Each structure stands twice: as C-alpha cells, then as structure tokens.
Amino acid sequence: MAAWEAEMAAEAAAADSGSAAKKADQDDVNNAFAAEWEAMVGGRAGGPTAQSVGSERILNQDEIDTLLGFSLGEENPEEKSAIRAIINSGLVSYERLPMLEIVFDRLVRMLTTSLRNFTSDNVEVSLDSITSIRFSDYLNSIPLPAIIAVFRAEELDNFGIITVDSNLIYSIVDVLLGGRCGTAQMRVEGRPYTTIERTLVTRLVEVILGDARRAFAPVADIQFTLERIETNPRFAAIVRAANAAIVVRLRVDMEDRGGHAELLLPYATLEPVRKVLLQQFVGEKFGRDNIWESHLATELWSTDVEIRAVLDSFPMPLHKVLDLKVGDTWLLNVGPENLIELKSGEVVLTRGRMGRLGHSIALRVEEPLRAGAPRKFAGAAN
C-alpha cells in the first residue's frame, strides 16, 4: 500500500513539473508576440504605442483604430480594411448598375448648361463621387443647415432626395439677386431660411429634376416631381432606415462661389429599371433588347386568337334578356347580301359573306385585314 502511494505521488509531481514547463513556454511565446507587435506598431507610429501592466497589454486609441480599420483622416472608399470592410460588405455596390454612371455623366453635362442659363453666370458642374450607403447613415451625415427636397418618380412609384448644402444655397441666392463676384460669402447661422431663399432653391431643384428626367430618358421615361421642401432630416424619411441607397455628390462652382448638391436614389426606387441599368454598353438602340424583341415577335406569330363572326348587334333592355325562354325567336336586321363583321374581342378585323361549305358554316373574306376602333354596345346578340 505504501509503495502504491509513493508511486502516485511521483506521477503527480511529474505532471506538475510538466504543466509548469508548458506554462513557461507559453509565457515565452506570448512575450515574444507582444514584443514583435510593439516593435511593429511602435516603429510605424514612431514611438511607444501601448502600455504594459504586469503581463497584460493595453492598446491605445491609435492601435485600436488601426486594428478596426478607422482613420481620423479623410476616408477613401477604395481603401477599406478590417472590420469596416466587413460592416460595409452588406451594402450593394453601385458598380452592379454600370448604366448609372452613363446616366449621371449625362446629368452633369446637361446640368452645366442649364445652370448657366438659370444663373447667367459661368457655372461648372462636376461629379465628385457615386457611393452606396444606408439611408439612416446618410440622414445622420447631412451637414446642417441644409435644404432637403423630396421628389417623386412617377413611373417608378417611389421617392428620392436632393440635398443642397448651405454654401450652395447662399451662392445661388447671391448670384440670382445680383451679388458681385469676388466678395466673401455671407453665412448667417442660427436662423431658418427665409421665404426668398427657399423659393430660389426650389427653382434650382426643379432645374435639377428636369435635367434628371432628360438624363434617364434613354433608359426609361421617368417624370420627377417635387413633393416638398424640408430643413429637418427626420421629416425627409422616404424608406426604412436599413435600406440601401445610391448617393451622387455633385460639385457646383460659380467662379469663386459654389457648393455641393447630393442626389439620393434608394435601390427600391431603381428596382423597376434594374434590368436596363445592368447593361454595360450602349448601342445605337440605347437600352433596347433585340433578342427579347425577336423572341416576342416569334411568339406572337404562334399565338391563338379567338375570332367571332357577328351577324348583328343591337341594344336590349336587361329585363327582356332576363325574360328569355327556350323557344323565343329574335329577328336580326341582316340578309344574305349583307356583309358580316369578323371581330377579335371588340376590334373589327375584316368583313365577309356568310355561307356554307359542306356541313360547316363558312365566311368568305371580302375586305383586307384592318385594325378597327373598339365598339361598345349596351347589349349584343351574336
């Protein structure tokens, strides 16, 4: 018994020594990794970047920003990494709709000419960026004060937003009211926009919407109608907060004045014309699908159409129709020499003469095939 207890004690001592050795090796690995991380990050930042408390390390804010992919500088949409790239991967990229770039390029060219005529000044419009963003994030990023115009796409049965920042608002007001060039822009903070300012910006928004309709014309005929003007982003909600949208940022320069205007279109608004916007190339028939046209023409030739030969039609009161019984006789105002109408639905196709061929009733066509106007009657008897 004593020998067995001695053997068990020896095995326990060996196990403790082994675990202590493994723990020491793991500590060495951790220390080596921490030293390598500190040397790498410290060399990048040019000095110490972390604090050590015993065997634990506390990352400072710079290391946390580097790890998560955030930076205090201006964000570059093409250089996203780490967790930020994972978060933004849920958004739909506008590059999946390549035809939008062509549409917005047409909008920039048209808007340059329209604003020159609108302001009688030298105006240059440029396209800053086209990005995808969640609708709630966009509302939170609008710099106030600003004027937000909510418009409706009639054929698409949905809405969009045009945001005009304060710099462009005061520039447009200054130009339209005869301000001199070269003077510094005046910005009066802490007050709402006046009626004159809102009216002038409304006219600017109407010019943008008119050019947007012409820019979309080769893709689809869409009428953009101004619904309302808002100054609070909370009152400009047109879709759910989590929905994705496309934001087009336009830069408007009027010599030493100017500002930005942003056009937001939710993906739900563009869904009816999504197939057209997926096209990558523009041919002579802008946006038309020749394969689908030929397929439709082939199917139309093989379509069965119901045709009726109408001997006579005349109105009849409803109570007489309800009183009809088996054996009743109707007198039709048609004779053997009269022509019978051949109709498809309510459209008269042609006319002919009724006769008999063998044991079947036949109709011989007497006039060329034509498309007549629909004819409606209170009641008809065939």
- pLDDT score recorded for residue 93: 54
- pLDDT score recorded for residue 309: 83
- pLDDT score recorded for residue 196: 87
pTM, rounded to two decimals: 0.52
Residue 20 vs residue 363, higher pLDDT: 363
Mean pLDDT of the chain: 76
Reply yes or no on whether the pLDDT at 318 is more than 70: yes
In this prediction, residues 105-113 reach a mean pLDDT of: 90
Residue 348 vs residue 69, higher pLDDT: 348
Least confident of 82-91, 170-179, 253-262, 324-333: 82-91
- Closest alpha carbon to 257 in 165, 184, 203: 184
Least confident of 9-23, 315-329, 367-381: 367-381
- pLDDT score recorded for residue 341: 83
Q: Cβ distance 377 to 341 under 8 Å?
A: no
Beta strands in 196-269 (DSSP E): 224-230, 244-254, 257-266
- pLDDT score recorded for residue 373: 47
- pLDDT score recorded for residue 151: 92
Residue 306 vs residue 207, higher pLDDT: 207
What domains are there in the chain, each with its CATH number?
32-73+81-89 (no CATH), 94-290 (3.40.1550.10), 308-365 (2.30.330.10)
- Closest alpha carbon to 166 in 196, 187, 194, 141: 187
Per-residue model confidence as pLDDT tens digits over 302-312: 888 888 888 77
C-alpha R_g of the chain: 38
CB-based contacts of 209-212 (< 8 A; 24+ apart in sequence): 209/151, 209/162, 210/114, 211/107, 211/110, 211/111, 211/114, 212/107, 212/263
Q: Cβ distance 240 to 120 under 8 Å?
A: no
Helix (H) or strand (E) holding 129: strand 124-134
Per-residue model confidence as pLDDT tens digits over 15-53: 555 555 555 666 665 676 666 666 655 544 444 444 444
In this prediction, residues 69-82 reach a mean pLDDT of: 51
Least confident of 133-147, 159-173, 203-217, 285-299: 285-299
- pLDDT score recorded for residue 181: 64
